[in-house]
Chain A
Amino acid sequence: MAINVKLMKRPERDVSYLRASLKGMAITFRHLVAPKWTMQYPEQKSTDDYTISQRWRGTHRMLTDEQGRAKCVACGLCPQICPANCIKLVPGEDEEGHRYPLIYEIDEFRCVFCGYCQEVCPEEAIHVGVHYENSEYQRGRFVYDLERLCAQTHPVSTLWDPSDPRGE
């Protein structure tokens, strides 16, 4: 040997190459006919064994009140806490002194889906959602504006609850 091969001490008896090979073949054949684990994704999104966690943090969703207005009061906490600095908020105020967001945009590309915005929001307005199908044809479409955030309908994340750490 040109290269140094580390010499292993192999057992001299009780080694059966033939039997080992045949055993291997038998094992693979058993797997060949065994039931498969594959989930047929686009048609099938959850199985008995696998469902997406309720604590999944996906793209955002803005909850609305009875009149269909965003619950957000433009307090500015979420842009403040956002570690990725991806929330753009321009507050506005109507004649009765109610604050509302003039512009509210989340850049889902920069977002790290930490869920802090949901945790910090005093109005429980902004939420991360249990949702993962986000394909778009253009990069620009990943900046979700207020209208889009309000229009999302997927379930919202329950986040992590310290009193129920395993989500039971």
Chain B
Amino acid sequence: MTPELKGYLLVSVIKLVVVFFTLLVGVAFVTWLERRVAAWIQNRLGPNRVGPQGLLQPMADGLKNFVKEETLPAQADKTLFLLAPGLAFVPSLVLFAVIPFAAPFPLSFDFSLPLLGQFAYAGPMPMIVADVSIGLLFILAVSSLAVYGIVIAGWASGNKYSFLGGLRSCAQMISYEIALGMSIVTVLILTGSVGLTHVVAYQQQTVWFVFSLTLGFVLFAISALAENNRLPFDLPEAEAELVGGYHTEYSSMRFAMFFLAEYGALITMSALMATLFFGGWDIPFTAWDQGEPSVLKSLATLVVFVGKTFFFVFWYIWVRWTLPRFRYDQLMGLGWKIMLPVALAYIMLIATAVWAFDALGLADGALYGLALFGVNLVALFIVFRVLDSGRLIGQQYVRREGSA
């Protein structure tokens, strides 16, 4: 091995470990946050006993889950039953690997250790676990893997409620995966690259995509809720109808794995939303963060990135404790009859707009973004005008009297 390769491996492993553990701590924090916010919204206080402000509550929960008895239903398909939580857990964390979370870190070293030999690394170090050039494709591919864990859990439990949960999640994921993918296509049209570092860089040079692709963001946010099985789309769990759905039969640490998966996916999706539409680690209104790498810049952008992610995590929780669950056919109707056509039409619109702007000779830049923002405002207005007239969701059940 060359010193460069060894240095690269060393840096990668360190990044991997740090990000992994940070994410796990984040998951623990988010479970706490969910319970606290839920309580606040209901005028309660929530868990505030274990540690300062109840921050150690996730530890207590984890400990409890570890010492609990693990049960295996008699009808369960044993192998799959044991495999499913892992299958659900892994993709939710893997996704984070392709998300850049801060400005490059100035790091270069060249040292040698006894036995191991020389390590060399020429910085700056990109603050991303794996800067793969297929970032967005990777996200689409891996995020759809998460459904396997749930479907298999539902199937292997040998329980009709779990099975229904698995079935639902399958249908739901397939429906919303498409809208999710379609809304990302518009990002691709603008950046011309699938790497997430490029997406961030492009937004730094122009405007955040939430302005130039507002409707895309709305579509993405809604599909993301469905992708993560969060209310109002938590049909696979649906405590009220399916007694917990796919994880009904799970107990102790395997049950906790599903929760880790859910909250891991929650964080990753929030980070993804921040990256795709809110400029990633970009600090708004300044170009300071794009210059020469420095430790300070890395830290500042990291804080900004965490802040944006946190905002979306909070948004997710907030939505969960506000909106009631959709009915199954409404969910499907929304996915196939609204999200998909709108997403397709939106791609056409953006492509046309980009083509038109190019024909007009409008250069890439802030002005370009603002022009797109104008286009988006029109699109948003039309979509919500139609959606808001109360005819799209559940339209098939409105029997018209009098007219035709």
Does A17 belong to the interface (CB within 8 Å)?
yes
Q: Mark B11-43, 1 if CB is under 8 A from A, else 0.
A: 000000000000000000000000001011111
Contact A18 B388 (CB under 8 A): yes
- Residue ranges of B at the interface with A (Cβ–Cβ < 8 Å): 37, 39-45, 318-319, 321-323, 327, 329, 384, 387-391, 393-394, 397-400
Say yes or no: A7 contacts B43, CB within 8 Å: no
Give residues of chain A (28-50) contacting chain B, Cβ–Cβ below 8 Å. 28-29, 31-38, 40
Please state if B43 and A31 are interface contacts (CB–CB under 8 Å): yes
Assembled-state Cα–Cα distance A86/B346 (Å) = 76
Residues on A close to B: CB < 8 A? 1, 5, 7-19, 21, 24-25, 27-29, 31-38, 40
- Given known contacts A8-B397, A13-B389, A25-B319, A32 and B45 CB-to-CB distance under 8 angstroms: no
A15 CB to closest chain B CB (Å) equals 3
Determine if B41 and A17 form an interchain contact, defined as CB atoms under 8 angstroms apart. Answer: no
In contact, A5 and B329 (Cβ under 8 angstroms): yes
By the criterion CB–CB under 8 Å, are B323 and A11 in contact? Answer: no
Q: Are B41 and A12 interface neighbours, CB within 8 A?
A: no
Residue on B nearest A31 in the bound complex, by CB: B41
Q: What are 30 pairs between A and B in contact, CB < 8 Å? A: A1-B329, A5-B329, A5-B397, A9-B399, A10-B390, A10-B394, A10-B397, A11-B390, A12-B398, A13-B390, A16-B388, A17-B393, A18-B387, A18-B388, A24-B322, A24-B323, A25-B319, A25-B322, A28-B41, A28-B318, A29-B318, A31-B41, A31-B42, A32-B37, A32-B41, A33-B40, A36-B45, A37-B44, A38-B43, A40-B45
Residues of B within 8 A of A7 (CB): 397, 399
B400 / chain A contacts, CB cutoff of 8 Å: 12
Task: Please give, as numbers and ranges, the residues of chain A lying within 8 Å of B37 by CB-CB distance.
Answer: 32
**Which of B318, B384, B398 lies in contact with A25, CB distance below 8 A?**
B318
Measured CB to CB, the closest approach of chain B to A11, in angstroms, equals 7
The smallest C-beta distance from B51 to any residue of chain A, in angstroms, reads 16
For the complex, what is the distance from the CA of A34 to the CA of B44, rounded to whole Å?
A: 10
Q: Which residues of A contact B327 (CB under 8 A)?
A: 5
**Minimum-distance CB pairs A-B, first 6:** A15-B390, A38-B45, A28-B322, A32-B40, A24-B322, A16-B388
